[in-house]
């Protein structure tokens, strides 16, 4: 295949492809927008042979700069965005196969409205689609806060979201992948077909090549985790690629499992006048109330920021009024089969609030999709407000970018880790907001530097936290992936020996070390290992 | 022959009518059936009633009516349109209704009437004004003298329209689905106890039955419904402005102008305090026409040209996030997920690639014309009109041709 | 002061889905919701009641399951709820519906101010408010965007018109229909949900509401739907040549202005 027309030199028009939502900016010499797997293979083969670095991109909504290029070529997959097929298993479960550039919100909308372009589908897939259209509503569980993310990106960083508290991260829903390798060959891997023996994994490509992989020997933390390659004894081969941060190959197809939509979904945001009450409440409900889909936290600073945004910015005028007495909030979602059951749980939540010093009056209950959208908007507005603040501060000093933590700890350390965040932020005199997935003890602490100096101190503070969190048995990246921004935390978490094992694993797929350069590995190790 | 009809829904059971009845025909219902009701109601013994009508004026609740034998459906002939004015000028929809009305009345072989309210006082002025409606297709124009105030009040309009309808008996009555029309027509329909179809986009006569088929969107435009009104007259519809086509003005057309001097019974208890004309919309949120710029416009110099174009066209200018990020545009102009959600009648995008966050902000635009050099740009999936071109060339062309 | 807020139950989405095989319209299995425009009316009524004192009744005509949504209106600030439900009401068009609602208003002893949403998102007619007012023989104001003052006797409102706004003072009893964003509806609290479960809820049949059944339901509806169909799907963008672009756009602007 001729690749001349596919590979474009980087000109000013493509400037936006040098950055992502992490607000960091990279550099590149060329860019491509392949529209088929065949094109991906051709480009990969050619660019890899030349020894150029290749950064694989989706919707660039990531927060760890995994899509930010460090020189070389950018392969942007947003034009590889078709829904290819659908199948139904013997239990009536549906699976949908999409290309990596498919946007999550659009896929969800298609699933909800049962609208897919099935023109090019196989006859079997078309028949399945008819059954799907007649079946009760289906749910695609991954729900990262940024719903304009691409499916390929979701898989590459093993994204989670609020509902991961109940459903787990993206990993559990991925049932098949196709991955284009550096030589243009393809691995087609289906869940339940290929397993490691202990920590040794053998894969066969479509071209007939055998790849032997020695899996690293570390144990993954027993918390929510998206830090480094997923490894385990006798693991399923597909899990290696999920969360591999664009360092092993290019995902060209993803099959996702759908679940039946629960009949009743109620969201409720519970407000407290003290942060300690909110934290106590979290322990209270997660021990006593089952099938809550999510537990999300907003601290007092986050609420203050939202009040300010609502007053100042048209995009946030629709936020509900947040009473000035509220100092923190917990969002939780009830999923069950009947309204009566939901009511029972809702009242149980109310009672738990009262036990923790809160009041049932200080709640927002959302009992249908449009009401829930208000609460999701509220949730989404929090990081958006942080981003807008950062963008303003960047004008003070261009060094300033987003400083958002993504660390999780085991249940018993929740109060302790929050205490640590509060104390150290106060000691450093920094401005910060805490919000996120408190059900998994996984808060995003976002520092809002007011100067370049504060930015540097914030960055140092993150390293201290990474060490502390590792001591507690936690993970340095629980959902955003490691990308480039957290590669040094990964070193803190696993240590140099294990990072070297990871580098050897990568070399089995990418002997030149040019795919996703800078992701997962700090420059030091990269130099040492390759 | 008429008869006295008591509306059990309006009757409050006060018994005042019983005392006014000269023939002893009225009594308060104490029967078994009444136990199911909330209160007693008046009943009339038609055998005793002399149709003196003293009870009609005696009822404080407007529950008693003298009903003249209802005119049969076949007594209604002709098409009538309500020609709305604002500040002494006919709205375009008035002529659109006449265009459609002409077509319907030709199909039915009946005459086309127009009713309107005029602020003019002399017959000469009124005749001159009404001639515009005749030229646009009306055979007869009823011009109601409206010597009240500039602001239209539904109740007083409805009362006089109903009187004309009851007298002229048109089989069809069309009103523009303007904000006023959609408030006025239901009042008229409820008074005449006839059917009303809202916001129609297609009207035609069923050749077999001669009934008006009224087609309208529902479910936010996701479903169309065709509706008829077989047994009641007139068949009423409000018609969406801008859909029907006004007929060519015929300067030679002749018609009759009837000047209506009936005063409305004064509408007590509703008082107009102030009417304010909307200032030119500053915010893009409420703008009717938006020119929405993306990275493709290039330089800040080009933006100046776009702004000049907006000014000349009376359009607001919006922009995508990259233009705000780079400091070319101000945040209040940003369209999209983190900017403003807009809903103009017409949105023209210039060099907007169509990131999903941007598309989220423009999905409520009624019509989108997209200009971009990349034929595969995602913006074209959301657009109604696709123009593959350098947007600045188009801007220059437009500036040269205004 | 007595307030009534009228609510309608509507499908949770306006999307019309067709069975790919039979092309019949499929109703999604989701529960219906309170017409979004009515939520503004509920919120406004709640705030007016807080200001003047009095009672707020939520009123609807519909199937028995509408009880859930009327109770939701209570959780959002109404004191009690009334449902008109009867087979005799089935198939009502706007004239028959406004007649039925007028009976409901009378059944609860009338009201000073009746609030409705501007229109329902499923029918898009915007006719119930004015037809209800005419049937009751009282004043109405549509498209109210702001309440400037309220007293024992009257209410001063600003309404939207095509040209701008008009401020009116209307004496009670009256019907107003409110536009989106007149107030920002809040969400109910858990305490509100609890309260709504025990709140007074009254059902009226056609007979109990003294209905003349010749004026209710299908029999009392002058209009009949004879055909429904989905409009032609959204087709791809129409291409216009670059050379004609400027003229085309200028014409399009003329059309909407």
Give CA–CA dist B156/B264, Å, rounded: 6
Local confidence band at A227 (pLDDT 50, 70, 90 cut-offs)? confident
ipTM over 0.85: yes
The predicted-structure confidence for B258-277, as pLDDT tens digits, reads as follows 999 877 776 778 888 888 88
The predicted-structure confidence for C131-176, as pLDDT tens digits, reads as follows 999 999 999 999 999 999 999 999 999 999 888 899 999 999 999 9
CB A466 within 8 A of CB A485: no
pLDDT for A421 beyond 70 = yes
A315 CB neighbours in chain B (<8 A) are: 337-341
B370 contact C CB<8A? yes
Q: How many Cβ atoms from other residues are within 10 Å of residue B366's Cβ?
A: 12
Query: How close, in Å, is residue C218 to chain A by CA atoms?
Result: 31
Q: Burial of B15 by CB count in 10 Å (0-12 exposed, 13-18 middle, 19+ buried)?
A: middle
B367 CB neighbours in chain C (<8 A) are: 252, 256
Residue of B nearest to A146 (CA): B357
Q: How many Cβ atoms from other residues are within 10 Å of residue A338's Cβ?
A: 10
CB B135 within 8 A of CB B128: no
pLDDT for B48 beyond 90 = no
Cβ contact, residue pair A314, B283, below 8 Å:
yes
Instruction: Indicate whether this model's pTM tops 0.90.
Output: no
A384 contact B CB<8A? yes
Phi and psi at A189, nearest 5°, equal: -125, 130
The predicted-structure confidence for A351-365, as pLDDT tens digits, reads as follows 999 999 999 999 999
Helix (H, G, I), strand (E, B) or coil at B36: helix
Give CA–CA dist B194/B236, Å, rounded: 7
Query: How close, in Å, is residue C67 to chain B by CA atoms?
Result: 22
Rounded to whole angstroms, the maximal C-alpha distance in chain C is 70
Residue A305, CB-side half-sphere exposure with 13 Å CA sphere:
27
Q: Rounded to the nearest 10 degrees, what angle do helices B391-401 and C245-256 cross at?
A: 60
The CATH number of whichever domain residue C204 belongs to comes to: 3.40.50.620
Nearest to C190 among A114, A129, A346 (CB): A346
Give CA–CA dist B253/B139, Å, rounded: 9
Share of chain A above pLDDT 90, in %: 82
A202 contact B CB<8A? no
CB C224 within 8 A of CB B228: yes
pLDDT for B256 beyond 60 = yes
Give CA–CA dist C229/B216, Å, rounded: 10
The predicted-structure confidence for A47-70, as pLDDT tens digits, reads as follows 999 999 999 999 999 989 999 999
Residue of B nearest to C161 (CA): B179
Phi and psi at A428, nearest 5°, equal: -80, -10
Residue A528's pLDDT is what? Answer: 34
pLDDT for B114 beyond 80 = yes
Q: Rounded to the nearest 10 degrees, what angle do helices A275-288 and A414-428 cross at?
A: 160
Residue A198's pLDDT is what? Answer: 96
Cβ contact, residue pair B397, C245, below 8 Å:
yes
Domain extent at residue C154: 2-256
Cβ contact, residue pair C30, A374, below 8 Å:
no
Query: How close, in Å, is residue A23 to chain C by CA atoms?
Result: 34
Most confident among A164-168, B64-68, B358-362 (mean pLDDT): A164-168
C156 CB neighbours in chain B (<8 A) are: 273
Domains identified in chain B and CATH numbers: 2-68 (3.30.70.20), 73-260 (3.40.50.620), 284-401 (3.40.50.1220)
Tell me the sheet residues that pair with B223: B218
Nearest to B222 among C139, C160, C230 (CB): C230
CA-nearest of A92, A121, A116 to A106 is A116
B191 CB neighbours in chain C (<8 A) are: 134
Query: How close, in Å, is residue A392 to chain C by CA atoms?
Result: 29
Cβ contact, residue pair A315, B338, below 8 Å:
yes
Residue A341 corresponds to which tokens in the numbers above?
A: 């059951």
Residue reference for tokens 């030119």? B280
C-alpha dist (Å) from residue A450 to A25, A77, A421, A455, A456 = 20, 36, 18, 8, 11
CB A349 within 8 A of CB A289: yes
Tell me the sheet residues that pair with B315: none
Nearest to C257 among B220, B271, B314 (CB): B314
CB B345 within 8 A of CB B291: no
B54 Cβ contact list (under 8 Å, min separation 6): B20, B21, B22
Residue reference for tokens 């999307």? C15
CB B221 within 8 A of CB B201: no
How many domains does the structure of chain C reveal? 1
**DSSP calls for A73-117:** EEEE-TT---EEEEEE-TTS-EEEEE-TT-BHHHHHHHHHHT---
Domains identified in chain A and CATH numbers: 7-76 (3.30.43.10), 83-260 (3.30.465.10), 264-471 (3.40.462.10), 487-529 (no CATH)
Q: What is the mean pLDDT of residues A369-397?
A: 90
């Amino acid at each position: 295949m001729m690749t001349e027309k596919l590979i474009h030199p980087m000109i000013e028009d493509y400037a936006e492809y040098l950055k992502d939502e992490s607000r960091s900016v990279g550099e590149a010499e060329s860019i491509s927008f392949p529209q088929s797997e065949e094109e991906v293979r051709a480009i990969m083969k050619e660019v890899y042979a030349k020894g150029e670095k290749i950064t694989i991109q989706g919707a660039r909504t990531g927060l760890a700069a995994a899509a930010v290029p460090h020189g070389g070529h950018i392969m942007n997959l947003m034009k590889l965005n078709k829904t290819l097929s659908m199948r139904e298993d013997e239990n009536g479960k549906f699976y949908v196969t999409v290309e990596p550039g498919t946007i999550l919100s659009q896929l969800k909308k298609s699933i909800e409205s049962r609208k897919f372009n099935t023109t090019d589908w196989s006859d079997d897939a078309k028949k399945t689609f008819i059954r799907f259209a007649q079946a009760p509503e289906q749910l695609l569980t991954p729900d990262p806060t940024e719903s304009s993310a691409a499916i390929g990106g979701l898989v590459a960083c093993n994204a989670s979201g609020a509902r991961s508290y109940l459903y787990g991260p993206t990993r559990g829903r991925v049932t098949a992948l196709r991955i284009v390798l550096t030589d243009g060959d393809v691995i087609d891997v289906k869940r339940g077909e290929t397993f490691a023996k202990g920590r040794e994994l053998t894969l066969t490509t479509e071209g007939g090549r055998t790849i032997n992989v020695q899996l690293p020997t570390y144990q993954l933390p027993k918390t929510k985790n998206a830090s480094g390659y997923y490894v385990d004894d006798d693991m399923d081969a597909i899990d290696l690629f999920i969360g591999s941060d664009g360092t092993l190959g290019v995902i060209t197809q993803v099959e996702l499992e759908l679940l039946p939509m629960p009949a009743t979904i109620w969201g409720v945001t519970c407000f407290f006048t003290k942060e300690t009450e909110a934290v106590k409440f979290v322990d209270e409900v997660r021990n006593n109330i089952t099938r809550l889909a999510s537990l999300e936290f907003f601290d007092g600073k986050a609420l203050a920021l939202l009040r300010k945004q609502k007053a100042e910015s048209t995009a946030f005028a629709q936020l509900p009024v947040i009473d000035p007495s509220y100092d923190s909030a917990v969002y939780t979602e009830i999923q069950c089969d009947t309204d009566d059951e939901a009511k029972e749980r809702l009242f149980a939540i109310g009672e738990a609030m009262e036990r923790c010093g809160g009041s049932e009056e200080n709640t927002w209950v959302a009992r249908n999709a449009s009401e829930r959208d208000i609460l999701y908007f509220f949730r989404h507005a929090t990081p958006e407000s942080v981003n807008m603040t950062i963008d303003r501060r960047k004008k003070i000093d261009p060094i300033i970018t987003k400083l958002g933590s993504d660390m999780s700890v085991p249940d018993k350390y929740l109060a302790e880790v929050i205490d640590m965040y509060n104390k150290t932020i106060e000691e450093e005199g920094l401005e910060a907001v805490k919000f996120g997935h408190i059900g998994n003890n996984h808060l995003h602490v976002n520092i809002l530097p007011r100067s370049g100096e504060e930015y540097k101190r914030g960055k140092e503070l993150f390293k201290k936290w990474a060490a502390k969190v590792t001591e507690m048995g936690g993970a340095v990246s629980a959902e955003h992936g490691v990308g480039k921004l957290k590669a040094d935390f990964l070193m803190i978490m696993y240590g140099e020996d294990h990072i070297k094992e990871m580098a050897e694993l990568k070399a089995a797929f990418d002997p030149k070390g040019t795919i996703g350069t800078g992701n997962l590995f700090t420059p030091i190790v990269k130099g040492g290992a390759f | 022959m008429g008869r006295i009809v008591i509306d059990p829904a309006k009757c409050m059971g006060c018994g005042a009518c019983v005392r006014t009845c000269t023939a002893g025909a009225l009594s308060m219902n104490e029967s078994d059936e009444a136990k199911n009701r909330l209160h007693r109601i008046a009943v009339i013994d038609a055998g005793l009633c002399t149709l003196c009508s003293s009870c009609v004026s005696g009822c404080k609740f407007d529950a008693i009516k003298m009903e003249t034998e209802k005119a049969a459906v076949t007594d209604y002939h002709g098409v009538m349109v309500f020609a709305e004015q604002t500040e002494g000028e006919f709205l375009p929809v008035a002529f659109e209704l006449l265009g459609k009305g002409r077509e319907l009345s030709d199909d039915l072989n009946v005459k086309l009437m127009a009713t309107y309210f005029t602020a003019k006082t002399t017959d000469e002025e009124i005749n001159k004004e009404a001639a515009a409606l005749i030229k646009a297709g009306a055979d007869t124009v009823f011009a109601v003298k409206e010597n009240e105030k500039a602001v239209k009040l539904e109740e007083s309009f409805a009362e006089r329209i109903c009187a004309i309808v009851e007298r002229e008996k048109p089989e069809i009555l069309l009103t523009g689905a303007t904000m006023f029309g959609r408030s006025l027509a239901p009042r008229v329909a409820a008074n005449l106890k006839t059917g009303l179809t809202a916001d129609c986009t297609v009207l035609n006569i069923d050749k077999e039955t001669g009934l008006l088929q009224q087609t309208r969107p529902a479910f936010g435009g996701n479903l169309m419904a065709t509706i008829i009104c077989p047994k009641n007259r007139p068949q009423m519809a409000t018609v969406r402005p801008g859909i029907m086509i006004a007929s060519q003005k015929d300067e030679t057309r002749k018609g009759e102008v009837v000047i209506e001097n009936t005063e409305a019974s004064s509408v007590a208890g509703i008082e107009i305090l102030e009417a304010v004309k909307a200032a030119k919309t500053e915010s893009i949120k409420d703008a009717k026409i938006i020119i929405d710029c993306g990275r493709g416009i290039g330089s800040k110099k080009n933006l100046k040209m776009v702004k000049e174009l907006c000014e000349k066209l009376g359009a607001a200018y919006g922009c995508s996030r990259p233009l705000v990020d780079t400091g070319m545009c101000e945040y209040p102009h940003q369209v999209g997920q983190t900017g403003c959600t807009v809903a103009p009648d017409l949105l023209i995008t210039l060099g907007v690639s169509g990131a999903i966050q941007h598309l989220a902000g423009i999905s409520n635009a009624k019509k989108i014309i997209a200009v971009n050099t990349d034929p595969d740009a995602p913006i074209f999936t959301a657009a109604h009109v696709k123009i593959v071109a350098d947007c600045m060339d188009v801007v220059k062309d437009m500036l040269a041709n205004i | 002061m007595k307030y009534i807020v009228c609510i309608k139950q509507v499908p949770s989405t306006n999307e019309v889905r067709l069975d790919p095989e039979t092309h019949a319209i499929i109703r999604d299995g989701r529960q219906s919701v309170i017409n979004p425009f009515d939520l503004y009316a509920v919120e406004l009524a709640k705030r007016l009641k807080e200001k003047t004192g009095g009672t707020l009744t939520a009123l609807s005509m519909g199937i028995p399951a509408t009880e859930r949504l009327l109770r939701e209106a209570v959780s959002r600030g109404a004191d009690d709820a009334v449902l008109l439900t009867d087979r005799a009401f089935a198939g009502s068009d706007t004239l028959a519906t406004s007649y039925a609602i007028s009976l409901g208003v009378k059944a609860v002893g009338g009201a000073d101010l009746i609030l409705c949403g501007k229109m329902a998102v499923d029918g898009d007619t915007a006719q119930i408010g004015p037809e209800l007012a005419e049937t009751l023989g009282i004043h109405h104001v549509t498209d109210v965007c702001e309440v400037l003052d309220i007293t024992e006797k009257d209410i001063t409102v600003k309404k939207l018109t095509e040209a701008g706004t008009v401020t009116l003072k209307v004496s009670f009893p009256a019907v107003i229909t409110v536009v989106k964003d007149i107030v920002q509806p809040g969400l109910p609290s858990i305490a509100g949900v609890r309260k709504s479960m025990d709140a007074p809820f009254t059902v009226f049949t056609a007979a109990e509401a003294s209905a003349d059944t010749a004026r209710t339901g299908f029999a009392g509806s002058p209009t009949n739907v004879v055909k429904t169909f989905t409009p032609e799907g959204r087709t791809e963008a129409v291409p216009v040549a670059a050379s004609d672009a400027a003229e085309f756009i200028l014409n399009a602007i003329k059309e909407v202005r």
